[in-house]
Structure 1
Amino acid sequence: MLDPRLQPVPPYSALIFDCDGTLVDSAPANERAWRHALAAQGVELDSAWYHARTGLSADELLAALEAEIGRELDRQQAHAAALDAYDWLVDTVPPREQVVAVARADHGRVPLGVASGGSRERVLASLRAARIHTLFDVVVTKDDVPRGKPAPDVYLLAAERLRVRPGECVAYEDTDEGLAAALAAGMRVIDIRPALTATPIS
């Protein structure tokens, strides 16, 4: 049974989902990967600081961290090390069943897309590990656009590739940056966080 808080309200012509934290519960694996990558450069990642910024792209996260610690990092090395570490952890990443249930319910009825601030390699690995990659007609990542979230670029491109007007889409997100991106694209947005932390409404 679908959680009523996650059900899209008609009319809509497409559903577009964020990946990390929305379709898959990747936060623990992502944190472990970044912690490993940054330790090699002498940085201890603060868990609370990281979780307040999970909606940022890798470049934006590293820029924020540089500002926090007051020195430059080797961003390319850190990003590569985090990707390598995530590859080892991806099989531990479970799907968000409440959200995936929405995608399954509308699969074949309306176009479904993914609009993620992560890299294409990481997003596809997560979707495949969760065995949900075949649900989606389009996958757009930060590698496809000039600006990451909270800019609307990934959502606008996903709608374009689905051949649907942005205003006819419902987006699913779990971060403030993601919500801002979808709203800036002109979409209706469902914040999944209340459904993850509270008892379902009967």
Structure 2
Amino acid sequence: MHPELASRQADCLLFDWDGTLVDTQYANYQALAGALAEEAVELEQEWFDARTGLSSADVIKALAEKRDLRLSRPVEEIVARRDALFLERACTVRPHTEVLKVVNAFDVRPFTGRPRSDLPRRPPGAAVPRRPAPPAAPRPARYRHAPAP
């Protein structure tokens, strides 16, 4: 870790899990490819990778438009299936070790806005808090103001 970062104090670190803390690219591809295969639609990984950052719904719509496809289910249902397939594969993702070093250098309490039922029991690469997080939701007012660097 950069020495300057190691000497800093922080009250809060915010990281996106998907693609930032852990490498989810291939698991996301597999999940969407699996959901589309149920529609008899093939998804090439190179085409998918070129659209990193788009929502699953936008990727599906772009693919349908590009190939002039008529899908048998609404996009929202295909996305829901993709999400279910991704959760089945969540244990296969691996942490981005350099980002994880930053997280682990601080005394953190991980939290998420997702419902608990949507989360794998122990996401790989997740920071393990040094003390248990309180059962209540985080208080957003704490995080509204960050000190200037």
Answer yes or no: same fold by TM over 0.5: yes
Count of aligned positions: 140
* TM-score (norm: length of structure 1): 0.53
* Larger strand fraction of residues: 1
| Residue 126 (structure 2) aligned to one of 113, 120, 132 | 132
Tell me if the contact between 2:20 and 2:99 (Cα under 8 Å) persists in the aligned partners.
Answer: yes
Q: How does 1:163-202 map to 2 (within 5 A)?
A: 163-165=142-144, 168=146
Identity of aligned residues (%): 28
1:54 shift after superposition: 2.5
Cα separation, 1, equivalents of 2:16 and 2:50: 17
Structure 1 or 2, whichever has the larger Rg, is 2
Look up the match of 1:44. Answer: 42
Q: Which moved more, 1:52-61 or 1:16-25?
A: 52-61
Pairing 1:18–2:16 present: yes
Pairing 1:75–2:75 present: yes
Q: CA, structure 1 residues 48+114, in 2 after alignment: closer, same or farther (shift >3 Å)?
A: farther
Unaligned runs of 5+ in 1: 138-157, 171-187, 189-202
Q: CA RMSD in A?
A: 3.7
1:13 shift after superposition: 4.6
* Larger helix fraction of residues: 1
Tell me if the contact between 1:16 and 1:112 (Cα under 8 Å) persists in the aligned partners.
Answer: no
Cα separation, 2, equivalents of 1:121 and 1:59: 23
Which runs of at least 4 in structure 1 moved beyond 6 Å after TM superposition?
none
Unaligned runs of 5+ in 2: none
Cα separation, 2, equivalents of 1:38 and 1:95: 27
